[in-house]
């Protein structure tokens, strides 16, 4: 935990500077806590409060808790006020503790200073002050900032305590991947899909950084810290319908009530109390006025001469919504790792959370390899060239998943070109997807290169289409070497790439939500590997598969709306047998 102080003369602007720094630094994703030293006659508790009475009666420690916050008060009696160190030790889990006051303590401080007050800066006599944030002209040998230039003051403070702009807020969120993280145990040959997934899940961790942003801009982002309701929803009991409100108990004297003057509308509450024998006009969403606990629909009354006659007796509390019946203030409403969709933005906003801590999107590089590949749209049309179809596919897939795609272009099948591409992008991306050259053939340079220089493990996964998946760390960046065939590249991305990237991005491991559907095809499948067939659901509700399983058949990817997953074991599938269908949407595509 780092500490930094703000000090200054009375009216020098200390608290304002504290306030702006807290907001700025926590807005950059760091957890900020504060300590404030109060003057002699300031107190935490006040005469007449319940806790005051507890303390007066002799309680040694008193905890006051509400749905919003809690505090522990300790009586010092004849004991000494705790030292600053002892107080700092009471703070839990902050990146930075900002301290207001405690002029004479030894921690470094910035002085908030206004020339108009007519003092000399405290810094002239206090060597623990290392910078000045001033309004007006000041001469000082120390670093000098404008009092209102919060951004620069925050940069300075963060640099001073070693939380540079590039360091990761929240300490605990960023971890490094181990260099041998993809290593397979000796002797492992074919890896079943489930085992490959379990290995990926156990060796990868979130590497995402945290930033704060306005809730309204956070669609598609991943929550980095859990969100706690600041306000109840609804904040107060209100009416669910347009009608008339009264006290239920008053109905024991009859179903005719006197209509009071005025009304309660949403945003325009009725002031005053509705008495026994009275009813008040109330509209949907309006707060129940004092004395009202029950509402009847306007269609269920007859009005005459300022009298409301109920057609029948309602139940106690009917047509009302209780305060907090949806969400109670102080309740954790969303946990870290939750993807924010429009629905979550509504929930966060309704419970008073206008700003959220979210993960920064990962930057994911995409590199295609192969001598035969040319850029889309190239003039060359000879038969031995292949348009690079994987790059637009993978770049857009990454974008659809909420990461930031980084186009690394094309590399020919030479070690030098591939090394160049990997090194050029080094440090600027959080992970790299390559396609092509992942097998063990002569021209499979990705495999050879990563094996010799980058801690490669070639995972021969028992899966069709796909099989070789080259997993390696290149200077600390994970590289996922996908097969070159677009069909295999897409299937491997959906099955292995999506959960792996999602874990790196802070959203946790994502499994596609499939469902069982009757087969509209027949197939005989051998034992030993899992198969994914390009599939879609027909009008009879059966799942059909693409006519050819050839992994060069790109048209089948587009024909399909998802994949049928066939188990590792052998299988004889007849029409009507239940098979597992994974729609593209279940892979976030």
Residues in touch with ligand AMP (CB under 6 A): 368, 370, 372-373, 386, 388-390, 435-439, 483-486
Of the pair 314, 483, the CB lying nearest ligand AMP is at 483
Q: How far apart are CA 295 and CA 245, in angstroms?
A: 4
- Nearest distance from residue 589's CB to Mg ion, in Å? 25
Binding to Mg ion by residue 436, rule CB under 5 A? yes
**Which of residues 7 and 435 has its CB atom nearest to ligand AMP in the complex?**
435
- Among ligand AMP, Mg ion, none, what does residue 170 contact (CB within 5–8 Å per kind)? none
Residue 372 Cβ vs ligand AMP, minimum distance, rounded to whole Å? 5
CB atoms within 10 A of CB 46: 8
In angstroms, give the least distance from the CB of 491 to ligand AMP: 13
SS3 category, 185: coil
Residue 462: CB minimum distance to Mg ion, A: 22
State the Cα–Cα distance between residues 533 and 562, nearest whole angstrom: 8
- Identity of the residue, 420 or 570, whose beta carbon is nearer to Mg ion in the bound complex: 420
Phi, psi for residue 373 in degrees, rounded to 5: -85, 140
535/556 Cα distance (integer angstroms): 8
Minimal distance, residue 436 CB to ligand AMP, in Å: 3
Nearest residue (CB) to ligand AMP, 293 versus 443 = 443
- Shortest distance, position 378 Cβ to ligand AMP, whole Å: 13
Give the CA-trace dihedral at 331, 336, 338, 341, to 10 degrees: 70
Contacts with Mg ion: how many residues (CB under 5 A)?
Answer: 4
Cα distances (angstroms) measured from residue 552 to each of 132, 436, 490: 67, 13, 12
Any residues with CB less than 8 A from the CB of 230 and at least 6 apart, and which? 68, 329, 351, 352, 353
Interacting partner of 486 out of Mg ion, ligand AMP, none (Cβ under 5 to 8 A depending on kind): ligand AMP
Among the residue ranges 1-9, 31-39, 276-284, 430-438, the one whose residues contact Mg ion (CB under 5 A): 430-438
The CA distance from 339 to 323, in Å, is: 28
Task: Give 368 or 510: the residue with its C-beta nearer to ligand AMP.
Answer: 368
What residue 485 binds from ligand AMP, Mg ion, none (CB within 5 to 8 A, per partner kind)? ligand AMP
* Sheet of strand 129-135: strand arrangement: 32-36, 96-100, 2-7, 109-114, 129-135, 144-146
| Nearer CB in complex with Mg ion: 365/484 | 484
Residue 478 contact among ligand AMP, Mg ion, none, beta carbon within 5 to 8 Å by kind: none
Residues 6+ away with beta carbon under 8 Å from 470: 434, 438, 446, 447, 450, 456, 457, 458, 459, 479, 480, 481
CB-based closest residue to ligand AMP: 484
What ranges in 149-192 are assigned the alpha helix state H?
Answer: 150-160
- Taking CB under 5 A as the rule, does residue 437 contact Mg ion? yes
In terms of CB distance, is 336 or 366 closer to ligand AMP?
A: 366
Tell me the closest approach of the beta carbon of residue 556 to Mg ion, in angstroms.
Answer: 21
Close Cβ partners of 26 (under 8 Å, ≥ 6 residues apart): 32, 212
Which one of ligand AMP, Mg ion, none is in contact with 365 (Cβ closer than 5 to 8 A by kind)?
none
**Least Å distance between CB 461 and ligand AMP?**
14
The dihedral over CA atoms of 501, 507, 509, 513, expressed in degrees to the nearest 10, equals: -100
The interface partner of residue 289, options being ligand AMP, Mg ion, none and the CB cut-off 5 to 8 Å by kind, is: none
Q: Does 486 bind Mg ion (CB under 5 A)?
A: no
Q: Return residues touching Mg ion (CB under 5 A).
A: 370, 436-437, 484
């Amino acid at each position: 935990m780092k500490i930094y102080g703000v000090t200054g003369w009375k009216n020098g602007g200390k608290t304002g500077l504290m306030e702006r720094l807290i907001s700025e630094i926590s807005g950059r994703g760091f957890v900020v806590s504060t300590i404030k030293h109060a003057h002699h006659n300031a107190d935490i508790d006040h005469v007449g409060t319940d806790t005051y009475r507890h303390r007066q009666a002799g309680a040694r420690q008193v905890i006051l808790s509400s749905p919003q916050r809690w505090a522990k008060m300790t009586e010092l009696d004849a004991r000494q006020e705790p030292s600053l160190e002892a107080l700092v030790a009471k703070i839990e889990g902050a990146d930075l503790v900002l301290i207001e006051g405690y002029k004479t303590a030894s921690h470094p401080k910035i002085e908030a200073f206004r020339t108009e007050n007519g003092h000399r800066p405290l810094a002239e006599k206090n060597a623990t002050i290392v910078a000045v944030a001033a309004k007006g002209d000041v001469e000082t040998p120390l670093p000098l900032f404008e009092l209102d230039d919060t951004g620069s003051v925050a940069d300075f403070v963060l640099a001073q305590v070693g939380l540079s702009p590039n360091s990761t807020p929240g300490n605990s969120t960023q971890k490094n991947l181990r260099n041998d993280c993809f290593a397979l145990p000796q002797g492992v040959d074919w890896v079943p899909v489930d085992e490959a997934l379990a290995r990926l899940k156990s060796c990868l961790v979130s590497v995402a950084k945290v930033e704060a942003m306005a809730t309204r801009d956070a669609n598609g982002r991943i929550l980095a810290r859990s969100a706690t309701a600041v306000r109840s929803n609804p904040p107060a009991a209100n009416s669910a319908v347009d009608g008339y409100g009264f006290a239920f108990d008053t109905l024991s004297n009859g179903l005719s009530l006197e209509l009071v003057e005025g009304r309660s509308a949403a945003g325009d509450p009725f002031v005053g109390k509705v008495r026994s024998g009275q009813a008040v006009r109330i509209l949907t969403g309006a707060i129940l006025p004092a004395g009202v606990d029950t509402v009847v629909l306007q269609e269920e009354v007859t009005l005459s001469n300022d009298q409301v006659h109920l057609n029948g007796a309602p139940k106690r509390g009917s047509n009302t919504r209780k305060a907090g019946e949806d969400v109670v203030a102080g309740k954790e409403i969303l946990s870290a790792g939750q993807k924010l969709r429009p629905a979550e933005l509504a929930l966060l906003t309704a419970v008073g959370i206008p700003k959220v801590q979210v993960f920064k999107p990962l930057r994911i590089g995409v590199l295609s390899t192969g001598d035969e590949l040319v850029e889309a749209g190239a003039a060359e049309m000879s038969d031995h060239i292949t348009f690079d179809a994987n790059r637009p596919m993978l770049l857009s897939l990454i974008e659809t998943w909420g990461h930031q795609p980084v186009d690394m272009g094309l590399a020919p099948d030479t070690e030098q070109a591939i090394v160049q591409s990997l090194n050029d992008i080094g440090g600027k991306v959080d992970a790299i997807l390559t396609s092509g050259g992942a097998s063990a053939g002569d021209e499979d340079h990705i495999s050879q290169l990563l094996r010799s220089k980058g801690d490669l493990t070639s995972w021969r996964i028992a899966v069709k289409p796909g099989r070789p998946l080259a997993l390696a760390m290149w200077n600390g960046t994970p590289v996922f070497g996908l097969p070159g065939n677009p069909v295999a590249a897409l299937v491997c991305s959906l099955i292995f790439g999506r959960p792996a990237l999602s874990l790196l991005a802070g959203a946790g491991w994502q499994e596609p939500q499939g469902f069982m559907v009757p087969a509209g095809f027949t197939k005989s499948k051998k034992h030993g590997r899992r198969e994914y067939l390009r599939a879609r659901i027909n009008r009879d509700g059966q799942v059909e598969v693409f006519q050819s399983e050839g992994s060069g058949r790109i048209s089948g990817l587009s024909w399909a709306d998802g994949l049928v997953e066939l188990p590792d074991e052998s299988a004889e599938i007849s029409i009507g047998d239940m098979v597992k269908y994974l729609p593209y949407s279940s892979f976030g595509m």
